[in-house]
């Protein structure tokens, strides 16, 4: 299990980026929304999609 956050601020492409809590590139905590603890990034992304219309995963902490 890992803890996941999603950036409440969208990128220029209008995506909200999902990060693991341990990410080196994690944005400032005040811009993040805590998704919870999940077994996979896919599960975390599905939860994030319930809050934001367009969601993507961080290239640094969630490699494709
Ligand atoms: Zn990340």
Count CA atoms closer than 13 A to 26's CA, side-chain side: 16
pLDDT at position 8 over 90: yes
Given this model, what pLDDT does residue 64 score?
Answer: 76
Tens of pLDDT, residue by residue over 28-49, are 999 999 999 999 999 999 999 9
Given this model, what pLDDT does residue 45 score?
Answer: 98
Q: How many angstroms does the Cα of residue 20 sit away from the middle of ligand 1?
A: 6
The mean pLDDT value of the chain amounts to: 97
Q: What is the DSSP string of 1-64?
A: -EEEEEESS--TTSPEEEEETT-TTPPPGGGEEEEEEESSHHHHHHHHTTT-SSEEE-TTTS--
Q: How many angstroms does the Cα of residue 13 sit away from the middle of ligand 1?
A: 17
Q: What is the mean pLDDT of residues 12-34?
A: 97
Q: How many angstroms does the Cα of residue 35 sit away from the middle of ligand 1?
A: 14
Given this model, what pLDDT does residue 25 score?
Answer: 95
Given this model, what pLDDT does residue 41 score?
Answer: 97
Q: How many angstroms does the Cα of residue 23 sit away from the middle of ligand 1?
A: 4
């Amino acid at each position: 299990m890992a803890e996941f956050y999603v950036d409440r601020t969208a990128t220029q492409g209008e995506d909200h980026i999902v990060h693991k809590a341990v990410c080196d590139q994690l944005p400032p905590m005040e811009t993040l929304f805590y998704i919870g603890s999940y077994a996979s990034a896919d599960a975390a992304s599905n939860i994030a999609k319930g809050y934001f219309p367009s969601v993507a995963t961080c290239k640094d902490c969630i490699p494709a």
